[in-house]
Structure 1
Amino acid sequence: MSLNRSRRLDIGRSSGVASSFNWIGSFAVGLLFPIMTASMPQEAVFAIFGVVCILGVLFVKFFVPETRGRTLEDIETNSMPVQQIRQEQATLINDFDRTEETASDQSRP
């Protein structure tokens, strides 16, 4: 299995996690908004959600590193020790290969 395949797995999993958090956040807003507007003025509800958004922006500004103009390899190298990167890639590759072997064994008559 190539290194690019391993990266695609990482990107796929990361995209899945990000999408899940997005749906969970949307569900929470959809669930909480009617309850909150029933118990307090609508302006206060919007202010609360606005403060949460501002906190999110501040978190990204101060804790998420800038990646503009950097390659994926550069980002990986600078964010993790090289040995840890290789170990995680090897683990992902082995897990994926075992999954493919199991699937191919089950499809044989």
Structure 2
Amino acid sequence: MTKYLISFPSAAMVVPEEGLQALSDAARAVVREAKDAGVWVFGGGINESIPPVMVDGAGTVIEGTYPQTRQMEGGYSVLELPSYEAALEWAARFAAACRCAQEVRAFQYDPES
């Protein structure tokens, strides 16, 4: 089976304060469904209060990040699924719960994992 990354940037999820609890409950329900279905691998939101750093091969810590990933934030879920179509179905569930479109990407197959 293939692992899929289902994600969204923080800016995509625009919800009034009074709707946050319902959104949180709906998102947690989809995560429970994924866990119950045995497809959940990992997920969570990026803690945007901690700035990103890069670490080189010598262990030197450098403030900042690659320009291409400067805006990497939001929520991420990794599911292990039998097909791309199944990933799209789960993405639709997350989109409905989070009230924003979800991006779907497939991880390359690793025969040793």
More helix by share: 1
Select the structure that is richer in strand. Answer: 2
Whether these two folds match at TM > 0.5 is: no
Q: Which has the higher contact order (CA 8 A, sep 6+)?
A: 2
TM-score, reference length from structure 1: 0.27
What is the TM-score when the length of structure 2 is the normalising length?
A: 0.26
Rg comparison, structure with higher value: 1
